[in-house]
Amino acid sequence: MMIPLLAFLAVDFARDIEPLLASRCTGCHGERTQMKGLRLDNRAAAARVLGAADSLLLQKLEDGSMPPVKPKLTAAEVARFREWIEGGAPWPDGTKKPAAAKARHWSFEPVRTATPPVTRNRAWPRNEIDRFILARLEKEAWEPSPEAEKSTLIRRLSLDLTGLPPTAGEVFAFLTDNRGDAYERLVDRLLESPHFGERWARPWLDQARYADSDGYEKDYVRPHAWRWRHWVIGAINDDMPFDRFTVEQIAGDLLPGATVDQRIATGFHRNTLTNREGGVNNEQFRVEQVMDRAATIGSVWLGLTFGCAQCHDHKYDPVSQKDFYQMFAFFNSADELDIDAPLAGEMGPYLAALPEYRKKREALLAGCGVAKHQAPWEARMKEARAQPGKWTDWDHAFDALTKYLDNALTILDTPPAQRTQKQTDAMTDHFVRNYHRVISKDLWKELRFVELRRKLTELRVGFPALSEAPVLVERPVRRPSHVLTRGDWKNPGAAVEPLPPAFLHTVPAGVEPPRLTLARWLVAPENPLTARVAVNRIWQELFGRGLVRTAEDFGAQGEKPSHPELLDWLAARFRDSGWKRKALIKTIVMSATYRQSSAARPEIDARDAGNTLLSHQSRLRLPAETIRDSALAVSELLHTAVGGRSVRPPLPDGVIELAYGTDAGWPESTGRDRYRRGLYIHFQRTVPYPQLMNFDAPDASLAACKRERSTTPLQALNLLNDPVFIEAAQGLAARMLRESPTVEHLFRSCLSRKPTSRESGLAREFLRDQEQRFASEGDAARKLHPVELPGISPEKAAAWTALASAMLNLEEFITRE
């Protein structure tokens, strides 16, 4: 793709040759292995195959015998090697020692404070960003694109900053605002919108693999998962600095005098999957969760494919297996806990009702003689634990206890008198539910525990409760950590301490708990990765791709930044001015680069198809949630409340049954909750909401650092026929007929612009034809638009609904231009 462009540039060792050596050669001819005694990771060792006249390396590359496995180098890459070798194979100093060579990968270098270059065109740049972009374009003798039209700009800004399209009124106000700072005022207004936090929470939720269920076979619902999402939205709306945002999520519980909110922040780590499948080894899956946490730190903050080092040293990056398990050690002593985290207004009614609730509960339990059976059952559980394999039925019952009751062993080990009320209740509830596993069917019937369980649930539902939140807590005594040989939890090797990767900076001094130390290390000013990775992901949201296109991988296998100095300038500015997300976003959207038209540039696109050099903005298909939100917004169905619990909009029949672990079903939300933003849709891992998946939402199994933007016929069917989008079309039609039944108003409301004369001609013709058609199709009109509108014929309402639906299907409607 970039070859035609690169072909104009002289060969550059660091850009053209070193990455190929690293990715295609040094695996066999490098530090660890030297097949045929050859090393290609430093000039001195490689010299014998680099002779300009008789290079063995070139010979092997040209006859295709090296590299021996596919993919072979392309003809263009081989040509680069020839050029390099014929030019004397220059190998810049300092790469002689392999260790140093690796540590010198660009992203491990300190962030430099770059000075924006001087450009020939002085008029175009609005801020520093533009000077970096323009200087690069000028090297190609390319002009930047003109600024987009104002109507495009407000739609772009609204979608990018709040995830919602602007209203026709907002568009009108902006178009008629002739003040010099009208654009900036718009930016400031959107940055302060409470919907800003919702929109910018979404990519963070993707990275955290947020979901409302456990995953795996059982896939239990996580009723409190939303508390962490709520925290993220609030933190982003409050513009919590990214360093604090980081520290609280990684170790908020360990901060001195940690608040409930700071503890809720650690819910970030509770988004790992949980395997409750019967017979699964609990320790194995605990270890897998901790591994996932370690790998996620790598993906989210460091932009490194850290998880690769789980079984062996990283093949391409200097992450050793020991580094991985040192990272693992930071999380190995953190336990999962659901804490009481009452919402405002919950505590009073709860305390007032508590005595009566307890009295009634105890009476129910006593009425069935629960205590009499539970004590010996607990004793047998302990025996089964001590002597596995002795009593099969008790083995199963014990397995169920550890699977279905969180922290079961801690509770079992605590004498009943010392248990908290919550622990006592949890154990009793589990007992009542599971006693049948170890008794005869006759006794089970006799005990009537099934009925008791129902009564207990009814009692609980009828009383005010305290909301809970999933958090991490540190164990009083640390678990020892080891390198796990080949990643096998049963195969511990050398002991390791919690330490960051050896090839990066050392930990800050001080005697804080290790996990808190890790958090501070991540946001230490000398960390070369955190700020770069963070600004790149923000850039990616605003341009469709990062300055480093592989936003998930800043290692040797990732792509190099298209504008390295700009990336560093942004990173340094972000870090040095208080890690303020809103300020960074404002700087970017204020730039002339951002404001460019997204129209294609055929003369340039042929040479820069990916628009790497940003000669124009990009047209981007909207994310799944934004497509839903836009349709609900223009039809004025959207329930705009910010934050809160997940909702379950109607789901087509037969969807929830496709997975095994979904006994809870899909209790549909009622009232306005059906129309909440896509971000709040309950995410059941084994049966995600179809519209989200149709439009490339990630599956919440791994940190997702960017989304695909595919185009499929299922998307078309989704927008054409899904009752959600038909209801939106009905709402939009009714709104148009009420406000102003013109094609112009419809275009302005949906696309923030007026139609061209051809477009209005097509739309009006459609309206006319469909109105006639509906007049001849009996009750079809009433079916498509069942609500009667005063003074409007059913045929007209139906024709408008069909037109409104077509609008919601336009590529432009689901695209940010």
Partner 1 sequence: MLHDLPRRHFFRSLGGMLGGVALAELSDPLAARKPHFAPTAKNVIFFFQEGGPSHIDLYDPKPTLRKWHGQPLPASMTKDLNFVFVKPDAKVLGSERVFQPHGQSGTEFSDYLPRIGANADSICLVRSMHTEAFNHHPGQSLLFTGATQFGRPTAGAWVSYGLGTESREMPAFVVLSSGKGTSGGSMNWASGFLPSSYAGTVFRSSGEPILYLPNPPGISTGTQRARLDLIRRLNEERQYETGDTATASRIHSYELAFRMQAAAPKFLDFSRESAKTLEDYGVNREPTRPYAVNCLLARRMVERGVRFVMLAHASWDDHQELNRKLKKNCEVTDGPIGALIHDLKERGLLDSTLLVWAGEFGRTPMGQLERVDEDPGRDHHPNCFSIWAAGGGIRGGQVIGKTDELGLRVTDHPVHIHDLQATMLHCLGLDHTRLTHRHMGRDFRLTDVGGKVVRQMLA
Contacts with partner 1 in 634-663 (CB under 8 A)?
Answer: 652-655, 657-662
- Nearer Cβ to partner 1, position 214 or 565? 214
Backbone angles phi, psi at 95, to 5 degrees: -100, 15
Pairwise CA distance, residues 773 & 291, whole Å: 62
Q: How far apart are CA 513 and CA 503, in angstroms?
A: 22
Q: Write out the binding residues for partner 1, residues 255-294 only, by CB under 8 A.
A: 273, 275, 277-280
Beta bridge pairs of residue 213: 221
How far the first Cα of the chain sits from its last, in Å, is 23
Contact between 95 and partner 1 by CB under 8 A: the answer reads no
Distances in Å between the alpha carbon of 737 and those of 595, 724, 750? 34, 20, 15
- What is the DSSP code (8-state) at residue 598? -
Any contact of residue 702 with partner 1 (CB under 8 A)?
yes
CB of 552 to partner 1, least distance (A): 5
617 binding partner 1? (CB under 8 A): no
Number of residues that bind partner 1 (CB under 8 A): 110
Binding span for partner 1 by CB under 8 A among 99-107, 240-248, 251-259, 764-772: 764-772
Residues 210-229 that bind partner 1 (CB under 8 A): 215-217, 219
Report the C-alpha gap between 273 and 550 in whole angstroms: 25
Stretch that binds partner 1, among 57-65, 97-105, 254-262, 692-700 (CB under 8 A): 692-700
Part in contact with partner 1 (CB under 8 A); list of ranges 252-260, 321-329, 367-375, 720-728: 720-728
Say if CB 550 and CB 558 are below 8 A apart. Answer: yes
Judged by CB under 8 A, the chain residues 722 through 761 that form the site for partner 1 are 722-723, 726, 756, 758-759
CA R_g for the chain: 30
Nearer to partner 1, 97 or 312 (CB): 312
Choose between 261 and 395: whose C-beta lies nearer to partner 1.
395
Q: Does 773 bind partner 1 (CB under 8 A)?
A: yes
785 near partner 1, rule: CB under 8 A = yes
Q: Cβ 704 to partner 1, closest distance in Å?
A: 8
Question: Is there binding between residue 602 and partner 1 (CB under 8 A)?
Answer: yes
The reply on whether position 781 binds partner 1 by CB under 8 A is yes
Would you count residue 305 as binding partner 1 (CB under 8 A)?
Answer: yes
Q: Considering Cα of 100, then 102, then 105, then 107, what sign does the dihedral take?
A: negative
Residues between 321 and 380 that touch partner 1 (CB under 8 A)? none
Q: Which residue in 183, 271, 165, 188 sits closest to 224, CA to CA?
A: 271
Task: Pick between residue 382 and residue 709 the one whose CB is nearest to partner 1.
Answer: 709
**Minimal distance, residue 744 CB to partner 1, in Å:** 14
Q: Among 187-195, 209-217, 459-467, 469-477, which window interacts with partner 1 (CB under 8 A)?
A: 209-217
Q: Which is nearer to partner 1, 13 or 766 (CB)?
A: 766
Asked if residue 433 lies in contact with residue 416, where contact means CB atoms within 8 angstroms, the answer is no
CA angle 434, 438, 439 (to 5 degrees): 105
Q: Which of 47, 717, 768, 787 binds partner 1 (CB under 8 A)?
A: 717
CB 712 → partner 1: shortest distance, Å? Answer: 5
714 binds partner 1 (CB under 8 A): yes
Residue choice 296, 536, 562, 718 for contact with partner 1 (CB under 8 A): 718
Distance CA 84, CA 597 (A): 39
Q: Which residues contact 768 (CB under 8 A, 6 or more apart)?
A: none
Q: Does residue number 688 form part of the binding site for partner 1 (CB under 8 A)?
A: yes
Among 33, 259, 711, 740, binds partner 1 (CB under 8 A): 711
Out of 396, 453, 745, 754, name the contact with partner 1 by CB under 8 A: 396
Among 136, 107, 106, 104, smallest CA distance to 119 is for: 136
For partner 1, which residue of 544, 546, 558, 561 counts as binding (CB under 8 A)? 558
Which residue, 85 or 548, is less far from partner 1 as judged by CB?
548
Residue type, 448: R
Phi-psi group of 682: left, alpha or beta (phi > 0 → left; psi -120 to 50 → alpha; rest → beta): beta
**392 binding partner 1? (CB under 8 A):** yes
Query: Segment near partner 1 (CB under 8 A), from 104-112, 364-372, 562-570, 700-708?
Result: 700-708
Question: Of 743, 737, 721, 732, which Cα lies nearest the Cα of 791?
Answer: 737
- Secondary element (H or E) of residue 517: helix 514-522
Nearest to 201 by CA among 224, 226, 223: 226
Q: Which two tokens stand for residue 441?
A: 């069917």
Binding of partner 1 at residue 440 (CB under 8 A)? yes
Q: Which of 146, 480, 525, 610 binds partner 1 (CB under 8 A)?
A: 146
Interacting span for partner 1 (CB under 8 A) from 97-105, 346-354, 502-510, 708-716: 708-716
Amino acid at 58: L
Residue 510, interface with partner 1 (CB under 8 A)?
no
By beta-carbon proximity to partner 1, the closer residue of 412 and 703 is 703
Q: At closest approach, how far in Å is the CB of 579 from partner 1?
A: 26
CA atoms within 13 A on the CB side of 808: 35
Stretch that binds partner 1, among 96-104, 134-142, 226-234, 595-603 (CB under 8 A): 595-603
Give the helix/strand (H/E) hosting 95: none
How far is the C-alpha of 52 from the C-alpha of 417, rounded, in Å? 83
Q: What is the DSSP string of 722-735?
A: -HHHHHHHHHHHHH
Task: Tell me if 141 contacts partner 1 by CB under 8 A.
Answer: no
Q: ω into residue 165 within 30 of 0, thus cis?
A: no
The verdict on 147 binding partner 1 (CB under 8 A) reads no
**Tokens linked to 717:** 């069917």
Distance CA 440, CA 759 (A): 74
- 42 contacts 75 by C-beta, under 8 angstroms: no
Name the residue nearer to partner 1 (CB basis): 308 or 365.
308
Asked if 762 touches partner 1 (CB under 8 A), the answer is yes
Min dist. Cβ of residue 714 to partner 1 (A): 6
Nearer to partner 1 (CB atom), residue 52 or residue 609: 609
3-class DSSP assignment, residue 332: coil
Q: Are strands 334-340 and 815-816 parallel, antiparallel or unpaired?
A: unpaired
- Least Å from the CB of residue 687 to partner 1: 5
What are 806's two structure tokens? 């077509």
Q: Which residues contact 220 (CB under 8 A, 6 or more apart)?
A: 213, 214, 274, 276, 661, 664
Which residue in 175, 780, 789, 792 binds partner 1 (CB under 8 A)?
Answer: 780
Instruction: Report the alpha-carbon distance of residue 713 to residue 361 in Å, rounded.
Output: 54
Q: Which of 251, 427, 523, 802 binds partner 1 (CB under 8 A)?
A: 802
Instruction: Kindly state the smallest distance separating residue 608's Cβ from partner 1, in Å.
Output: 14
Q: Which is nearer to partner 1, 200 or 435 (CB)?
A: 435
Of residues 59 and 281, the one with the C-beta less far from partner 1: 281
CA 372 to each of CA 349, 357, 377, 651: distance values in angstroms, whole numbers, following the listed order: 33, 22, 9, 45
599 is a contact residue toward partner 1 (CB under 8 A) = yes
Instruction: Report, in Å, the least distance between residue 90 CB and partner 1.
Output: 27
Which of the stretches 262-270, 352-360, 580-588, 693-701 binds partner 1 when contact is defined by CB under 8 A?
693-701
Cα separation, 176 vs 160, whole angstroms: 22
Which position among 10, 37, 71, 671 is part of the footprint of partner 1 (CB under 8 A)? 71
CB of 130: closest distance to partner 1 in angstroms? Answer: 19
Which residues ranging from 443 to 482 are in contact with partner 1 (CB under 8 A)? Answer: none
Q: Record the tokens describing residue 444, joined without a space.
A: 């089970």
- Tokens coding 637: 């169905």
CB 498, CB 329: distance < 8 Å: yes
Q: Does 769 bind partner 1 (CB under 8 A)?
A: yes
Task: Confirm or reject binding of residue 549 to partner 1 (CB under 8 A).
Answer: no
